[in-house]
């Protein structure tokens, strides 16, 4: 169940399918000999849907109402799902030597990949693993930094400091403070790795990382090479951006704090994890005041409610010919942080019943960044809705990068012209200086993200493979962050720390490669959709808003779900069968020329 597995722990599409089996026992059983492979797959689809419905509800309740009771219910549901999945995988082995039609074989293969956290086929170990994962996710969701008994700050409050402050010491305090929540996870994480690797081995994989990499219609080794190839296509653009950003931060904070021949201090980039740098745009604006797309002010001046911000995103999808979201979406989603309880604010999109019960979970603030996240999350919802007619085992993206790329592709169409058309900015100036300003804003998020998106799983793959051990978790983490991102902590870190645990996806067991792939593929998708819309001119100026032709092309790809190998599905939209980062270089050509000019005479690299 590739779909169920990926959505099990996705931030953006968390449905955790960990559920009660229709059996009364956790012990594996043997399928009736008379059951054909096709009948087995049909039964798996029926049972999977039942599990999905029950356990989506359990997980939704937990992440929107964190307490001991909901944690227990969620953990128990996860145990039972793991038991069901282990049983079904064992039963599927009887069909290995049979000649099967392509659809049935694919369904069985996806079933075997259907748990991103495979538990050992031992009831006690299964219980231990699911509770460890639930505990770590709960620790993250309830985490706060307390400088005194009466001075505690939650993650959203600390993120506001990192985004808005320009005081070096205040930024460092907030950065260190959030990382105080993760050291207690360290031993739990080490044990989780042991148990998850044991579960992956029982399914025939070398380790959990190899199992994750098996979900891309190629071998784990081939996929590792493929991700490296894509990174190398865009690495020169990232290096130019890093060089320029470091120089500007040196002007602001002093070269004693930001040396011009080394990594950038991790707390100065406007984001708690230095994964996107858009919040420091004010320090980097190439041409001050030129076509300032101040969407934040519009949202505040017009006092957009969270629901109104979501309506704005829905309207874009409707303009492509897609339906309005069902009434239950508006009744059951979580748009704001409740005042009376702990929740996981990390944005995610949900399908609760494999059909029409769609939801998002967010703690929405009146910012342009949050608005773009909403557009992204609805991309998941519309994808989920499009493939609802597929069998449950095929209800997923062609691979997980597809699911993340859809909403990101739509945000590329939030051009100045589009923002002006829908009343979010007053004008849509498109002088060359205005273009450079906008591209800088985009690159600080989309290009800055690329190495971060790659290294999270690079670290975990090494951990799962035993190349990184608990004795050097933190050192290996920072070695990779420096290697790929060119950033480093401003204060000494040690193995008493567990900085990976301060990033949601690590304790929550969410594979991160999907986001790296999405940041590549969204530009490839956009180029194809703009061609379908009849756009002429520069790629960065294209918005597909209102194009039914682009909508039809997009919908055809979405409806396929995971029913075919991803190159087949990619071809439906792009006409090609290979992921390609060249569209990023095309899109950011104006900015690349600007950065190369600015970096003349500077010593780039780290």
Catalytic position from the list 85, 205, 244, 505: 505
Question: What proportion of the chain, given as a percentage, has pLDDT over 70?
Answer: 94
Does the pLDDT of residue 20 top 80, yes or no?
A: no
Judge whether 170 counts as a catalytic residue: no
CB atoms within 10 A of CB 284: 21
Q: Above 70 in pLDDT, residue 320?
A: yes
Rounded to whole angstroms, the Cα distance separating 230 from 239 reads 15
pLDDT for the residue 2: 37
Catalytically annotated residue among 85, 244, 267, 380: 380
φ, ψ at 332 (rounded to 5°): -115, -10
Helices then strands, each counted (H, E), the chain: 24, 6
Strand partners, 264: 487
| 3-state SS, one letter per residue, for 286-327 | CCCCCCCCCHHHHHHHCCCCHHHHHHHHHHHHHHCCCCCCCH
Domain ranges of the chain: 295-428+513-575
**H-only helix segments in 429-577:** 432-464, 473-485, 513-532, 548-560, 566-574
Cα separation, 397 vs 214, whole angstroms? 15
68 is annotated as an active-site residue: no
Rounded (5°) CA angle 145-299-318: 110
pLDDT on residue 430: 77
Judge whether 516 and 453 are in contact, CB under 8 Å: yes
Is pLDDT above 90 for 25? no
Name beta bridge partners: 488: 265
Mean pLDDT of the chain: 91
DSSP 8-class letter at 216: G
Which pair of structure tokens corresponds to residue 472?
């050097």
The alpha carbon of residue 9 and the mean position of all alpha carbons in its chain are separated, in whole angstroms, by 10
Owner of token pair 């039972």: 80
Q: What does the block give as tokens for 265? A: 């201090």
82-91, 316-325, 574-583: least confidently modelled range: 82-91
Which among 85, 242, 244, 376 is annotated as catalytic?
376
Catalytic residue flag (residue 347):
yes
Q: Which of 404, 532, 564, 583 is catalytic?
A: 404
DSSP assignment letter at 276: -
Specify the range with the lowest mean pLDDT, choosing from 422-431, 455-464, 501-510: 422-431
Query: By the 8 A CB rule, do 402 and 524 touch?
Result: no
**Residue 10 pLDDT more than 90?**
no
DSSP β-ladder status, 264-265 and 487-488: parallel
Neighbouring C-beta atoms of residue 252, cutoff 10 Å:
14
Closest CA to 192 of 137, 114, 110: 137
Residues 98-130 pLDDT 10s: 999 999 999 999 998 877 888 888 889 988 998
What pLDDT does residue 3 have? 38
Question: Averaged over 387-398, what is the pLDDT?
Answer: 96
Question: Has 65 been annotated as catalytic?
Answer: no
Tell which residue, 437, 423, 435, 440, has the closest CA to residue 540: 435
Catalytic residue among 192, 418, 504, 515: 515
Task: Report how far Cα 466 is from the mean position of its chain's Cα atoms.
Answer: 25
Residue 205 a catalytic site member: no
**What's the rounded Cα separation, in Å, for the pair 196 and 190?**
10
* pLDDT reading at 272 higher than 90: yes
List Cα–Cα distances, 87 to 17, 80, 81, 112, 202, in angstroms: 15, 11, 10, 11, 12
Q: What is the per-residue DSSP string for 197-211?
A: HHHHHHTT-SSHHHH
* Residue 33 pLDDT level (bands cut at 50, 70, 90): low
Q: Find, among 377, 449, 452, 453, the residue nearest to 411 by Cα.
A: 377
Residue 505 appears among annotated catalytic residues: yes
Most confident by average pLDDT, 19-33, 141-155, 307-321: 307-321
CB-based contact 63:361 (threshold 8 Å): yes
Going by C-alpha positions, the residue among 550, 298, 282 that lies closest to residue 413 is 550
Range 526-533 average pLDDT? 97
pLDDT per residue over 536-588, tens digit each? 999 999 999 999 999 999 999 999 999 999 999 999 999 999 999 999 999 99
What does the alpha-carbon distance between residue 158 and residue 145 come to, in Å, rounded to a whole number? 8
Q: Which of 377, 386, 458, 583 is catalytic?
A: 377
Rounded Cα distance, 248 and 167, in Å = 15
Q: Which of 347, 443, 560, 564 is catalytic?
A: 347
Q: Of 32, 166, 174, 20, give the one whose Cα is nearest residue 502.
A: 174
């Amino acid at each position: 169940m590739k779909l169920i597995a990926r959505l099990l722990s996705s931030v953006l599409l968390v449905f955790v399918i960990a559920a009660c089996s229709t059996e009364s026992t956790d012990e594996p059983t043997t399928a009736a000999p008379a059951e054909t492979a096709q009948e087995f797959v049909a039964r798996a689809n029926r049972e999977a849907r039942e599990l999905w419905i029950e356990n989506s509800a359990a997980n939704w309740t937990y992440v929107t109402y964190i307490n001991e009771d909901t944690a227990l219910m969620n953990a128990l549901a996860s145990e039972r799902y793991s038991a069901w999945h282990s049983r079904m995988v064992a039963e599927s082995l009887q069909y290995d030597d049979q000649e099967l039609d392509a659809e049935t074989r694919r369904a069985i293969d996806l079933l075997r990949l259907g748990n991103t956290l495979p538990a050992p086929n031992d009831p006690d170990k299964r219980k231990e693993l699911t509770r460890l994962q639930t505990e770590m996710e709960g620790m993250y969701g309830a985490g706060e930094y307390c400088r005194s008994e009466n001075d505690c700050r939650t993650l959203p409050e600390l993120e506001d400091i990192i985004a808005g402050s320009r005081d070096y010491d205040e930024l460092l305090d907030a950065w260190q403070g959030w990382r105080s929540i993760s050291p207690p996870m360290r031993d739990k994480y080490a044990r989780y790795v042991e148990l998850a690797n044991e579960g992956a081995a029982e399914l025939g994989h070398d380790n959990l990382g190899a199992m994750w990499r098996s979900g891309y219609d190629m071998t784990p080794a081939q996929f590792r090479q493929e991700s490296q190839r894509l990174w190398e296509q865009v690495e020169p653009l990232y290096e130019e951006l890093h060089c320029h950003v470091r120089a500007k931060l040196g002007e602001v904070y002093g070269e004693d704090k930001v040396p011009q021949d080394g990594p950038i201090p991790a707390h100065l980039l406007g984001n708690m994890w230095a994964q996107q740098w858009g919040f420091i745009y004010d320090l980097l604006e190439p041409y001050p005041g030129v076509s300032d797309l101040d969407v934040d002010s519009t949202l505040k001046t017009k006092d957009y409610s969270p629901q109104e911000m979501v309506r704005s995103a829905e309207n874009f999808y409707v303009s492509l010919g897609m339906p309005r979201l069902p009434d239950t979406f508006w009744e059951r989603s979580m748009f704001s942080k409740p005042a009376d309880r702990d929740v996981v604010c990390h944005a995610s999109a949900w399908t609760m019943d494999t059909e029409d019960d769609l939801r998002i979970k967010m703690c929405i603030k009146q910012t342009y960044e949050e608005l773009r996240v909403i557009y992204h999350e609805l991309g998941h919802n519309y994808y989920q809705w499009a493939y609802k007619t597929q069998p449950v085992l095929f209800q997923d993206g062609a691979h997980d990068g597809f699911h993340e790329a859809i909403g990101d592709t739509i945000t590329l169409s939030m051009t100045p012209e589009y923002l002006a058309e829908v009343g979010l900015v007053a004008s849509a100036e498109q002088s060359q200086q205005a273009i450079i300003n906008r591209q800088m804003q985009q690159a600080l998020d989309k290009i800055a993200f690329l190495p971060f998106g790659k290294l999270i799983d690079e670290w975990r793959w090494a951990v799962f493979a035993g190349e990184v051990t608990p004795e050097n978790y933190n050192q290996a983490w920072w070695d990779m962050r420096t290697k790929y991102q060119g950033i480093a902590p401003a204060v000494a870190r040690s193995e008493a720390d567990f900085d990976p645990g301060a990033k949601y996806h690590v304790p929550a067991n969410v594979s991160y490669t999907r986001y790296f792939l999405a940041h590549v593929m969204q530009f490839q998708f956009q180029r194809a959709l703009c061609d379908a819309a009849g756009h002429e001119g520069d790629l960065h100026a294209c918005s597909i808003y209102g194009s039914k032709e682009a909508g039809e092309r997009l919908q055809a790809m979405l409806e396929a779900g995971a029913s075919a190998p991803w190159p087949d599905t990619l071809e439906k939209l792009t006409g090609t069968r290979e992921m390609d980062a060249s569209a990023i270089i095309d899109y950011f050509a104006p900015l690349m020329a600007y950065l190369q000019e600015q970096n003349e005479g500077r010593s780039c690299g780290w």
